[in-house]
Amino acid sequence: MVCSSFFDKYETDLEEVKIKIDNLQNKYKDWQRILIEPTTLNEARLYSVETRVTEEEEMRIREYEYMRDLLKKLLYSLEQLNMQAIDTKGLALPNLNIQSEASNKNTEKLPNLLISGADAAK
């Protein structure tokens, strides 16, 4: 009788433990989803933000390079227009004046209009 009461109590305790274990397993059966997924979600969000920042930086670099090239082209074209304007007015022909002076030593020298009056008197 003592043995049978012991085993009866043992069986009831065993059943209680099984029920408690089942309850705990049901309660924490999604522990991987609860513990792991938030970190993977946070990593995914972080990756997404980093990707957007990188794309934004690359886009700004491309825009900067485009504007720099555009300004270089604009300055070059303005310089070309300026040089053409100088050439048409005859202001940028100092070599021609030197050649004409060498070829016309005996002829009368024309005044240089580019030099101010005070400099021309010297």
Which parts of the chain have pLDDT scores under 70? Answer: 1-2, 32-36, 38, 90-122
pLDDT score of 96: 47
Residues 6+ apart with CB under 8 A from 11: none
Angle CA(13)–CA(18)–CA(21) in degrees, nearest 5?
Answer: 125
- Would you list the domain boundaries of the chain? 39-71
- Does the model's pTM come out above 0.85? no
Q: What is the pLDDT of residues 96-114, one digit of tens each?
A: 444 455 555 545 566 666 6
Q: Could you say which DSSP state residue 1 is in?
A: -
| 111 neighbors 120 (Cβ within 8 angstroms) | yes
| 112 neighbors 97 (Cβ within 8 angstroms) | yes
Q: What is the pLDDT of residues 35-49, one digit of tens each?
A: 667 678 888 889 999
Please give the C-alpha separations between residue 118 and each of 25, 58, 108, in angstroms, as whole numbers: 106, 59, 21
